[in-house]
């Protein structure tokens, strides 16, 4: 009887631990963009991917003084209206870097990296390429 009770407890423990592994909490960037109803419709894998994308799918690069004349070659990254899916007239500036949320901008993940100038400073926002994001996400999931 003790053996049966012990086996039942072990099975229950494994059941709870494996079901708990599928729970992925959305980060603050997802919570800023999606309602709780929308978040509840996303799969745990999608939430994990979007968490990764908002935290690791981009980087900021300082432009050296001697290369600042090339900044005009890069476009701005414009905010997007989530309801209409239209780009707004507001674009990323230096003040926005502190709380940057990629999901609030009109971006596309491409085969190559995307480069966007940041208004008001000598910086570029780099959106990583599709392959960089995929490889990084796969490594991230292994942790």
Report pLDDT digits (tens) over 76-127.
999 999 899 999 999 999 999 999 999 999 999 999 999 999 999 999 999 9
Please check the confidence at residue 55 and state whether its pLDDT lies above 90: yes
Rounded CA-CA distance 136/109 in Å is 14
Rounded CA-CA distance 49/53 in Å is 6
Q: With a threshold of 0.95, does the pTM exceed it?
A: no
Residue 54 near residue 28, CB atoms below 8 Å: no
Q: Looking up tokens 């208004």, which residue turns up?
A: 119
């Amino acid at each position: 009887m003790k053996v049966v009770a012990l086996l039942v407890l072990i099975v229950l423990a494994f059941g709870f631990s494996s079901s708990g592994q599928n729970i992925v909490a959305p980060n603050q960037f997802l919570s800023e963009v999606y309602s709780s109803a929308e978040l509840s419709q996303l799969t745990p894998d999608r939430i994990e991917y979007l968490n990764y994308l908002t935290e690791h799918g981009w980087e900021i690069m300082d432009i050296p003084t001697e290369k600042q004349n090339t900044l005009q070659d890069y476009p701005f990254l414009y905010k997007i209206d989530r309801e209409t899916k239209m780009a707004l007239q507001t674009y990323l500036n230096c003040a926005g870097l502190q709380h940057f949320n990629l999901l609030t901008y009109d971006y596309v993940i491409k085969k190559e990296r995307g480069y966007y100038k940041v208004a008001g400073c000598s910086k570029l926002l780099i959106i990583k390429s599709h392959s960089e994001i995929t490889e990084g996400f796969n490594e991230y999931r292994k942790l």
